[in-house]
Amino acid sequence: MTTDISTFDLEEAGAVLAAESARFASFGWMRGTSGNLSVVVSRDPLRLAVTASGHDKGELTPSDVVLVDGKGAAVNGGKPSAEAELHARVAALTGAGAVVHVHTVASVAMGRRVPGGILFKDLEMLKGIGQPAHDVEVLLPVIANSQDMEVLGDRLEAARDPRMPAVVVAGHGLYVWGDTPRQARHHTEIVEWLLELELTGD
């Protein structure tokens, strides 16, 4: 199965998202029906395959996805995640090919502890998001939550650091992105590691 978004069809995208969701669910990052994932299947016009609303993310099948447009609205029926609009906004804003949203304890706890944003430096794991391990500070923004995805997207756009492919939504969880589903997965695992380190540090 290819992970080149230029050749994804909806069934392939669904299979990829089901596998990625099962992986994240196994870590306890998508408990119950929480969290959502997407992959870009077309750039012009922008179309994304997004995990369907209300499904256990550890038990998704390739058919449990919905095709949405650049505003997060379903194209061919189905009920996408309520946050599909934000996925589309991130894809358009950053050029990402895949977006991950997980509800991790570390992201919520650190968002409360450091509401102004979380700085990382002098850590080898920063290489996993394409940054030097030393002599640079990288900010993981924390933004206030909203049930209005346009408002939340505006906050994300205003706060994001181009060097950090992620933001924390206060009281909610973590949004992470990458060029491909695999890169988005790697970025998610790296950022979550960084958050867990900060949470357990002095």
Tokens found for residue 81: 């995640």
The confidence score (pLDDT) of residue 147 equals 94
Cα–Cα distance for residue pair 72/134, rounded to 1 Å? 39
In this predicted structure, what is the pLDDT of residue 136?
86
Q: What is the pLDDT of residue 130?
A: 93
How many CA atoms lie less than 13 Å away from 21 in the CB half-sphere? 28
Q: Please report the pLDDT score of residue 159 as a whole number.
A: 97
Mean pLDDT by groups of 10 residues along the chain of 202 residues? 52 94 96 94 95 91 94 89 94 97 97 96 95 91 96 96 96 97 98 96 68
- The domain tally of the chain equals 1
Domain around 88 = 5-200
Residue 7's pLDDT is: 43
CATH number at residue 94: 3.40.225.10
**Count of C-beta atoms within a 10 Å radius of residue 63:** 12
